[in-house]
Structure 1
Amino acid sequence: MIGERGQGAAHLARTAVLVIVAALWLGPYAWMTVTSLKTLPEILRAPAYPLPQAVQLGAYREVLTTVPVGRYLLTSLAAAIAIALLQIALALPAGYALAKLRFAGRGAAFGLVLACLLIPAQVTFVPVFTLLGAAGLVNTFAALVLPFGVSALGTFLVRQALLSVPDEIIEAARMDGASELRIIYGILAPMLRPTLAALFLFSFVFHYNDYFWPLVMTTDDEVRTLPLAVALLREQGTGVRWHVVMAGNVILSLPVLALFAVAQRHILRAVTARV
């Protein structure tokens, strides 16, 4: 009886902790959404009041009419998806080579990958910008994608995941006549679905929300991304129109939330199936 009470108390404590953590994570987004449904006078009068007096969608209409949200959103989605897919396509053979192939300098190559994880992107900005400028790729869609095609984090994650794959699977595939590319993309890639889904999620979220690189690499609205458009909403007018800015951020975050929900379900399903 005492043991059951102790288990019940522990369950309640864990539930309470999870609720508090969820509230801390969801609180800012909820406040942003509620603020976008208010009018500017109402926000200035009581900025911390939790609920709007009446739901107002004027901020969303203003965002959609002020900036071409559709074009910016498509550019952001296309760039983020292209970067994530390219990183996965290149991380698979790189991680496979570091995990399953024997060659001179493999340890040094892996150390170089780890070292790349410690280098901020801003450090390599000038040489990469100069290289793209010399190639005539500034202010193009390629400039948003190509510099991030190779991911040290993706290579590291794939390599670590492949260490748990038995070598016998690879040897059996080779005996059946499978090529190295067939082994990598046809046999090992489906086995690494949770890792690849996590890599896609991390890459998409980071590059979809990236502000610095699109700002310095683009000057044409045709290739600019949605974070830049949301930033412009703050600059218009004589004061910050918080309801419009929050509405823009809500629109900006919707694809990320949808993708996270889908990717999280697949990851949990794969992990449960393995257990």
Structure 2
Amino acid sequence: MNTPYRCRPAQILSHVVLLFLAFLFLFPFYVMIVTSIRSPQELFVREFRWLPQQFTGLQYYIQAVTDIPALTFLKNGVIVSGGILFVQLLTAIPCAYALAKFQFRGRDLLFAVVLFSLTVPIQAPALPLFLGLSAIGAIDTYFAAMAPFFLSVFAIFLFRQTFRSYPDEIIQAARMDGMSEWAILWTIVVPGCLPSIAAFSVFSVVAHWNDLYWPMVVIRSTELMTPPLGLAVFADSESGANYGALMAMAAILTAPLMVGFLLAQRHFIRGITMTGVK
């Protein structure tokens, strides 16, 4: 006879805490969606209503696409975040592989420099970077928005920890078969470490999609504004009173990140939990 499953008080308490934290994290998104479909008269009432009394439909979403160039900001976010991630993977993966699998003089010192670089914020070298980009006439371009982030020390650290746990026997067997180090890296090691690459991809895309500081420094024209910068610029005295359109615009600009994370959730969690496990 099967014994009925009983939940322990500690398990019940942990689930209650997790549900409460989930509510805290999801509540702002709920307010954003509901505000984007409320009528203007309901925005400044004293009592909070979970559902709109008057449904405006897609009015604010159409306005966000027509009056505010939300789709242009969306395109710029994809170009900037995707371009940064592509170059970061091309540069960080070989560097991490060399630090993990090659024996050479100064390797530990180089890794110490990588760890030290993790503590340097983008604000520290912002002025020299701006002056350098201005000297070559690259201000207000996609290149200016992407260039400071082409080399990610966090990616080097993360991939190095992952590559260290990759079996040396497989690499040695590939070398005995005559494969080059470049072929071993991209055809054997990288496919076996896709969860960590997916985890870093989520970190990178979210960080640079939501970045406001650096685009505010180097971007001037509306046609090149990224999602946070575009939302900040249009939330002024002229269009700021239209909270419904701004919330609709925020929902449009947030949706790709949420969809992308849901699609990569399994690889993301696997990559985080398996990084550094030997």
TM-score by length of 1: 0.91
Aligned to 2:177: 176
Within a 5 Å distance, the mapping from 1:116-155 to structure 2 comes to 116-155=117-156
Q: Compared with structure 1, are the counterparts of its residues 70 and 86 closer, same or farther at alpha carbon in structure 2 (3 Å cutoff)?
A: same
1:96-245 aligned at under 5 Å gives the runs: 96-237=97-238, 240-245=241-246
Distance in 2 between the 1:47 and 1:237 partners? Answer: 27
Q: Give unpaired runs (5+ residues) of structure 2.
A: none
- What are the Cα deviations for residues 77-101 of structure 1, in whole angstroms up to 9, with x where unaligned? 1110111121112111111111111
Q: 1:84 touches 1:203 (CA, 8 Å); kept in 2?
A: yes
Q: How far apart in 1 are the matches of 2:175 and 2:61?
A: 57
How does the TM-score come out when normalised to structure 2? 0.90
Residue equivalent to 1:20: 20
Residues 168, 239 of structure 1: CA spacing in aligned structure 2 closer, same or farther, 3 A cutoff?
closer
Shift of 1:63: 1.4
Alpha-carbon offset, residue 65 of structure 1: 1.8
CA contact (8 A) 1:96 1:162 kept: yes
Residue 251 of structure 2 corresponds to 250
Report the CA distance between 1:50 and its aligned residue.
2.1
The match for 1:29 is: 29
- Could you tell me which amino acid in structure 2 is paired with residue 223 of structure 1? L
SS in 1 for 2:44: helix
How many residue pairs get aligned? The number is 272
Instruction: Provide the rounded CA distance (Å) in 2 between the counterparts of 1:238 and 1:129.
Output: 30
Mean CA deviation greater in 114-123 or 46-55: 46-55
Deviations 1:163-206 (A, max 9, x none): 11121111111111111111111111111111000110000001
- Aligned-pair identity (%): 37
Q: Which deviations, in whole Å up to 9, do the C-alpha atoms of 1:123-169 show, x marking residues without a partner?
A: 11011111111122111111122221100110000001111112111
* CA-CA distance at 1:31 after TM superposition: 1.3
Measure the CA separation in 2 of the matches of 1:87 and 1:165: 21
SS, match of residue 121 in structure 1: coil
The residue type paired with residue 23 of structure 2 is A
1:10 offset after TM fit, Å? 4.4
CA drift at 1:8: 4.7
Q: CA-atom RMSD, angstroms?
A: 2.4
Letter in 2 for 1:244: A
Structure in which a larger fraction of residues adopt helix: 1
